[in-house]
């Protein structure tokens, strides 16, 4: 399996919200970055979430 095929983020994840927001950047930001998005090769992230009265990582 490739990480792209098996990895997913919870819908309320901070990273998920940032990735979705990146698609809505202003035209000014797109001009400054020459319309080039950075390529993420590796990401390590840990987030605590309260689900059903308990904490999960």
Instruction: Please report, in tens digits, the pLDDT of each residue of the chain (57 residues total).
Output: 455 555 666 666 766 666 656 656 666 666 776 766 667 677 677 777 777 777 666
Total domains in the chain come to: 1
Quick one: residue 35, left, alpha or beta (phi over 0 = left, psi -120 to 50 = alpha)? left
Q: Is 57:46 a contact under the CB 8 Å cutoff? A: yes
Q: Which range of residues forms the domain containing residue 46?
A: 3-56
Please count the CA atoms within 13 angstroms of the CA of 30 that sit on its side-chain side: 7
């Amino acid at each position: 399996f490739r990480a792209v095929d098996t990895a997913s983020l919870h819908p309320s994840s901070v990273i998920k919200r940032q990735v979705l927001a990146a698609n809505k950047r202003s035209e000014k930001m797109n001009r400054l970055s020459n319309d080039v998005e950075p390529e993420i090769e590796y990401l390590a992230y840990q987030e605590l979430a309260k689900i059903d009265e308990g904490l999960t990582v």
